[in-house]
């Protein structure tokens, strides 16, 4: 058989095989299982994209909120060293450093010559969830964990040692008005089981 004829036959055979492969691929891609897989993949991509957008929005919201707490603060309030102790009137000064994902609040509260205590709270934000540490009860560094609701960060305290009969209490760091901040701690009286405000400090930006 002449070489040219052989080449023509080979080319036609190749074209036929190529068309058959394309036909098979089209049938495979148009099957119900493949269609379902494509739908599932599209939904997964859409969900992942939405999650990333929501996370970015949440982080942006926390950044804006935390920046409103930055600066120098001073004010007055009350402190109870323990739930059954007398209430002391205190004067406090704080410096607050905040960035896109964290808050560092450091200061001191005093009451004449009978009470002086360093108080600090260091928090890191992941969306509206906060974790960190607190010093202020005189028992070492306590753990903090909670979430923000509106203008308030509500935190559970886990003391380093027992305070008022257990190692649990609550803290709220709240933005009040355009230039105010309120710090509140609440503990349970072991004798009565009632919640007692152990500190409430009203601060103004100075």
**Amino acid 53: pLDDT:** 39
Question: Six-digit token pair at 188?
Answer: 């349970």
Counting residues of the chain whose pLDDT is more than 90, the rounded percentage is 64
CATH architecture of 67-205: Beta Barrel (2.40)
Q: In this structure, are residues 107 and 97 in contact, taking their beta carbons and an 8 Å threshold?
A: no
Q: What is the pLDDT of residues 147-206, one digit of tens each?
A: 999 999 999 999 999 999 999 999 999 999 999 999 999 999 999 999 999 999 999 998
pTM above 0.85, yes or no: no
Q: What share of the chain is helix, strand, coil (3-state, %, to 5)?
A: 30, 50, 20
> What pLDDT does residue 9 have?
54
Per domain, the residue ranges of the chain are 3-57, 67-205
pLDDT computed for residue 49 by the predictor? 43
Give the model's pLDDT for residue 138: 85
* pLDDT single digits (tens) 73-88: 999 999 999 999 999 9
Element (H, E) at 116: strand 115-126
The pLDDT tens digits for 11-51 are 565 455 445 555 544 555 566 654 575 555 444 444 444 34
Q: In Å, what is the CA distance from 83 to each residue of 40, 155, 194?
A: 57, 19, 10
Q: Give me the percent of the chain exceeding a pLDDT of 70.
A: 71
H or E stretch at 19: helix 3-29
């Amino acid at each position: 058989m002449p070489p040219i004829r052989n080449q023509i036959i080979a080319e036609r055979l190749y074209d036929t095989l190529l068309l058959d492969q394309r036909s098979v691929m089209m049938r495979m891609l148009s099957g119900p299982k493949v269609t379902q897989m494509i739908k599932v993949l599209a939904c997964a991509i859409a969900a992942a994209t939405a999650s990333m957008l929501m996370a970015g929005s949440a982080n942006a919201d926390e950044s804006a909120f935390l920046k409103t707490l930055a600066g120098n603060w001073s004010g007055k309030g009350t402190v109870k060293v323990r739930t059954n102790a007398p209430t002391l009137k205190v004067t406090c000064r704080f410096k607050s450093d905040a960035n896109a994902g964290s808050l560092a609040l450091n200061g001191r509260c005093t009451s004449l010559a009978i009470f002086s205590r360093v108080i600090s709270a260091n928090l890191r934000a992941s969306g509206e969830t906060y974790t960190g540490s607190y010093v202020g009860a005189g028992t070492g560094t306590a753990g903090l964990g909670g979430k923000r609701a509106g203008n308030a960060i509500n935190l559970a305290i886990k003391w380093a040692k027992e305070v008022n009969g257990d190692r649990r209490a609550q803290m709220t760091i709240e933005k009040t008005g355009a230039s105010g901040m309120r710090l509140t701690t609440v503990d349970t009286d072991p004798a009565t089981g009632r919640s007692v405000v152990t500190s409430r400090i009203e601060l103004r930006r100075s």
